[in-house]
Chain A
Amino acid sequence: MNVLVTYPERCVGCRICEQWCSWKHEGQVNPTKSRIRVHRVHSKYLNIPVTCMQCAKSPCIAACREGALRKDSATGAVIVDEEKCIGCRRCVRACPYGAVAIDKDKRIVLICDLCGGEPQCVAHCREGAIEYVSLAVADRGHRAAYVETVVATMAAETKDGIKATGEGGCQ
């Protein structure tokens, strides 16, 4: 099973992912109907893609009183039963990542369905800011990045001896 991994530091805010998400699902380009949203923090020059993380214990499913949400056994995506969903927005509030939105016309929630295993946002992101990788290896990148930091720190320490803190004080 694969999961989505986002890399905010790579995102440039073109919102092509939003375009293709709403285009493939709704036949129209409309950011408010996209299951992935890019949030721009202007003052910090940041663009953050926000979408479903396929949590192992989905708080959205737990929050739903109508039994409208379930996990697809093949893809692990949260699937919304449009008949059962009453648009109460409990799942919107339960999601720790702000990844659930509401379709303003249909009045039901929008959650990433992984496009049945071929996420269009991933297919069209030129920046590599969203990846679709196996759950077993999804977090290796973070581990590798952490290890790199450790290696760099150790290298610096070997070169300079133990680094001074640069702070004055306590003798």
Chain B
Amino acid sequence: MALKGLAGKILRVNLTSGSITKEPTPDDVFAGYIGARGVGAYLLLKELKAHTDPLGPDNKLIFLTGPVEGTLAPGANKITVTFRSPLTGTYSFSLCGGHLAPEVKFAGYDGIIIEGRADRPVYLWIDDDRVSLKDASHLWGKLTHATEDAIRAELKDDAIRVACIGPAGEKLSRFACIQSDYHREFGRGGAGAVMGAKNLKAIAVRGTGSVEVADPEALEALTEKVYGILAANLKARARRYYGTPEMVDGTNGLGYWGTRNFSTGYFEEGHNINAANMKEKIFVGSMSCYACPIACGKVSLIRSGPYAGTMIEGPEFESTGLLGANCGVSDLEALVKVVEICDIYGLDTMSAGAVASLAMECYEKGIITKEDTGGLELNFGNGEALVALMEKIARREGIGDLFAEGAKRAAEKLGVPELAMQVKGQEFATYEPRGCKGMGLGYAISPKGAHHMIAPTMGPETAGDGSKRFEYKGKAALVRETQFLMAVVDSLSLCSSMRFALGLKEQVELYRAVTGLSLDETGALSLGEKITNLERLFNLREGFDRKDDYLPSRMLKEKMPTGPSQGHLVELDPMLDEYYDLMGWDRQGRPTAAKLAELGLAELWQEVK
């Protein structure tokens, strides 16, 4: 079977031996798991031995595109990396937008599997079918932007796409990201540290080919239809005009915006860092990922003050929340500066914000002192200190060394594990679970820790008057269904913003037009379920079960003190029970034998267990 929409080859690079091989894309695996995230979950479970050291040579970085990339499909620009996370020890994956994904496909590959460890810094150069490892000693230590620039100059082509790590990845910060196109990244889970541990500084790609699609007319008609829907959709228009910070007012206004290390869900200075203020004060233009009719990337420029001249793409909503509200910082200029530091050193802005807010709470409580911080007055709201702290974390200097380990490890070392807002070691996204119960359940059951895009239920939960967000009824079912939907969209490798126009029906149509395979909505949802179970199996093998599907005690025991969600907590256990029941899992969160048989995963599980 030759699947349309696919490039047909997977590149496998062993850094230990230096061997580079091209394997035929396993069509049956792509047909069975759609692509990207789904195929990544399958390959990681199958190829990685149990208890592999995340920072050892045996961990893998499995970069995968989806079947719709490199075609006319709107918003098809995500590339996934799947790996065992050094931050959580769980299965993890991370998606990057920009222009890398189509370039990989144009170069002739559906994915790149990186294994082993190079004995000195190298970078991978993929020039269509000519693939080589090149010395990167001269790039080691360079910031991400400088690395991209240096590689483009060295290879004498400005149009080359680069994914690279910065000093944070080299120094194995557990929440180091992989940066691409200056401001797009594989953010969560510490993929940058895995790359650093492998001595792989960068991947550079030039592709000049194309992929064939099954039904060009259908694809063209659907693409035009999606452009039309997106142009009319209010949410998409807000995203286009304001970028992701369009969500600030809504989230803060309902009081589920993590503030001051999630001590509350309402930031009273939120209006200083909302979209309208950004638009007025700092936005100077837009930058789009490949094939995107929304172009949510906003370019920000600081015109005056100590950070004058700083220019970034962003800040995104999640960065605004975690580095802004959650650190109590309403200074827009400091926010832009700290995002820049994260981007050029290669740190996940989300974890960075959660870690910094932990440091701030510890400082205010006297757990760390001015002596520990090297003179920084790390009170909530001190933007200048936040900028200085982030530089220390990025360089692992002084107290930065401790916090580069992530919130969970740092809080444990400081003797205050309960102050780290995390699940399985992955720091919270910006939504406050006490003010939005489904998000709480979503954080808890997420295979990669407290991430918001595993089951982003906030839309339906806050629809209408917003009171549904406090209800428990129906939340387990909502989380379950959203989880399956996200598994499909991530596996197709579409940007999740495309969901404004592409419902499951259109996604399935897109899949059919590109691949020629027959798939209906029910079939797609059951693939989503299969992928979700596969991810669960990886974690089970590593010893994760119900005991790890929890939220920090602050969410469960301390009533939210202020804002529109005042007085609320999360009652997690009943939601968990209901969720497990609906999933066909036992009360320890393990898929039952019957469920595995139903999904056709029993044999695989026997084999890898």
Residue of A nearest to B182 (CB): A42
Report A-chain residues with C-beta under 8 Å of the C-beta of B208. 30, 32, 104
**Interface bits A1-17 vs B (CB < 8 Å: 1, else 0):** 00000000100111110
4 A-B pairs with least C-beta separation:
A14-B288, A30-B210, A12-B288, A28-B210
Bound together, the chains give a CA A45 to CA B72 distance in angstroms of: 25
Task: Kindly identify, within residues 213 to 254 of chain B, every residue whose CB is under 8 Å from any CB belonging to chain A.
Answer: 216, 220, 227, 231
Report A-chain residues with C-beta under 8 Å of the C-beta of B291. 14-16, 19
Q: Does A141 contact B (CB under 8 A)?
A: no
Is there an interface contact between A42 and B181, defined as CB atoms closer than 8 Å? yes
Task: Kindly identify, within residues 95 to 111 of chain B, every residue whose CB is under 8 Å from any CB belonging to chain A.
Answer: 99, 106
Given A19-B72, A29-B70, A104-B208: A45 and B299 interface contact (C-beta under 8 Å): yes
Given A23-B72, A39-B159, A126-B231: A14 and B295 interface contact (C-beta under 8 Å): yes
CB distance from B205 to the nearest CB of A (A): 13
27 contacts between A and B (CB under 8 A): A9-B285, A12-B285, A12-B288, A12-B295, A14-B289, A14-B292, A15-B99, A15-B290, A15-B291, A19-B72, A22-B210, A23-B220, A28-B212, A29-B71, A30-B209, A33-B210, A40-B159, A40-B181, A42-B145, A42-B148, A43-B149, A45-B285, A47-B287, A104-B208, A126-B231, A126-B293, A127-B295
Q: Does B599 contact A (CB under 8 A)?
A: no
Bound together, the chains give a CA A22 to CA B72 distance in angstroms of: 10
**A29 touches which of B72, B145, B148, B292 (Cβ 8 Å):** B72
**B149 touches which of A15, A22, A27, A42 (Cβ 8 Å):** A42
Bound together, the chains give a CA A16 to CA B237 distance in angstroms of: 18
Bound together, the chains give a CA A12 to CA B209 distance in angstroms of: 24
Is there an interface contact between A43 and B145, defined as CB atoms closer than 8 Å? yes
Bound together, the chains give a CA A134 to CA B149 distance in angstroms of: 40
Task: Kindly identify, within residues 273 to 309 of chain B, every residue whose CB is under 8 Å from any CB belonging to chain A.
Answer: 284-293, 295, 297, 299
**B293 touches which of A16, A28, A39, A45 (Cβ 8 Å):** A16
Centre residue among A9, A16, A22 by max chain B CB count within 10 A: A16
Report B-chain residues with C-beta under 8 Å of the C-beta of A28. 210-212
Is there an interface contact between B149 and A14, defined as CB atoms closer than 8 Å? no
Bound together, the chains give a CA A38 to CA B196 distance in angstroms of: 32
Bound together, the chains give a CA A75 to CA B211 distance in angstroms of: 32
Bound together, the chains give a CA A24 to CA B289 distance in angstroms of: 22
Bound together, the chains give a CA A113 to CA B476 distance in angstroms of: 56
CB distance from B154 to the nearest CB of A (A): 15
Q: Does A89 contact B (CB under 8 A)?
A: no
Centre residue among A14, A30, A43 by max chain B CB count within 10 A: A14
Q: Does B313 contact A (CB under 8 A)?
A: yes
**Interface bits B293-330 vs A (CB < 8 Å: 1, else 0):** 10101010000000000010100000000000000000
Q: Does B158 contact A (CB under 8 A)?
A: yes
Residue of B nearest to A37 (CB): B159
B interface residues, Cβ below 8 angstroms from A: 70-72, 99, 106, 145, 148-149, 158-159, 181-182, 208-212, 216, 220, 227, 231, 284-293, 295, 297, 299, 311, 313
Q: Does A59 contact B (CB under 8 A)?
A: no
Is there an interface contact between B287 and A45, defined as CB atoms closer than 8 Å? yes
Report B-chain residues with C-beta under 8 Å of the C-beta of A39. 158-159
Is there an interface contact between A45 and B70, defined as CB atoms closer than 8 Å? no
Given A19-B72, A29-B210: A13 and B158 interface contact (C-beta under 8 Å): no
Is there an interface contact between B227 and A12, defined as CB atoms closer than 8 Å? no
Q: How many residues of A contact B (CB 8 A)?
A: 27
Report A-chain residues with C-beta under 8 Å of the C-beta of B293. 14, 16, 126
- Report the number of A-B residue pairs with Cβ-Cβ less than 8 Å: 73
Is there an interface contact between B286 and A12, defined as CB atoms closer than 8 Å? yes
Report A-chain residues with C-beta under 8 Å of the C-beta of B231. 126
Q: Does A76 contact B (CB under 8 A)?
A: no
Bound together, the chains give a CA A47 to CA B313 distance in angstroms of: 13
CB distance from B74 to the nearest CB of A (A): 8
Bound together, the chains give a CA A32 to CA B70 distance in angstroms of: 12
Bound together, the chains give a CA A14 to CA B240 distance in angstroms of: 13
Residue of A nearest to B149 (CB): A43
Centre residue among A29, A39, A126 by max chain B CB count within 10 A: A29
Bound together, the chains give a CA A48 to CA B226 distance in angstroms of: 25
Report B-chain residues with C-beta under 8 Å of the C-beta of A30. 106, 208-210
Report A-chain residues with C-beta under 8 Å of the C-beta of B99. 15, 40
Bound together, the chains give a CA A124 to CA B106 distance in angstroms of: 22
Beyond the given A19-B291, A23-B72, A40-B159, please list 17 additional residue pairs across the A-B interface where CB-CB is below 8 A: A12-B285, A12-B297, A13-B288, A14-B293, A28-B210, A29-B210, A30-B106, A30-B208, A31-B106, A33-B210, A43-B145, A45-B284, A45-B285, A45-B299, A47-B287, A104-B208, A127-B286
Bound together, the chains give a CA A25 to CA B264 distance in angstroms of: 56
Residue of B nearest to A104 (CB): B208
Residue of A nearest to B313 (CB): A45
Bound together, the chains give a CA A127 to CA B297 distance in angstroms of: 14
Bound together, the chains give a CA A19 to CA B148 distance in angstroms of: 25
Report A-chain residues with C-beta under 8 Å of the C-beta of B211. 28-29
Bound together, the chains give a CA A170 to CA B236 distance in angstroms of: 57
Bound together, the chains give a CA A27 to CA B209 distance in angstroms of: 13
Report B-chain residues with C-beta under 8 Å of the C-beta of A14. 288-293, 295
Report A-chain residues with C-beta under 8 Å of the C-beta of B287. 12-13, 45, 47
Bound together, the chains give a CA A16 to CA B227 distance in angstroms of: 11
Bound together, the chains give a CA A131 to CA B67 distance in angstroms of: 33
Bound together, the chains give a CA A29 to CA B211 distance in angstroms of: 7
Residue of B nearest to A47 (CB): B287
CB distance from A104 to the nearest CB of B (A): 6
Report A-chain residues with C-beta under 8 Å of the C-beta of B299. 45
Is there an interface contact between B227 and A124, defined as CB atoms closer than 8 Å? yes
**A45 touches which of B106, B210, B292, B311 (Cβ 8 Å):** B311
Bound together, the chains give a CA A16 to CA B99 distance in angstroms of: 12
Bound together, the chains give a CA A31 to CA B103 distance in angstroms of: 10
**A27 touches which of B158, B216, B289, B292 (Cβ 8 Å):** B216
Is there an interface contact between A126 and B149, defined as CB atoms closer than 8 Å? no
Centre residue among A27, A40, A45 by max chain B CB count within 10 A: A45
CB distance from B155 to the nearest CB of A (A): 14
Bound together, the chains give a CA A27 to CA B211 distance in angstroms of: 10
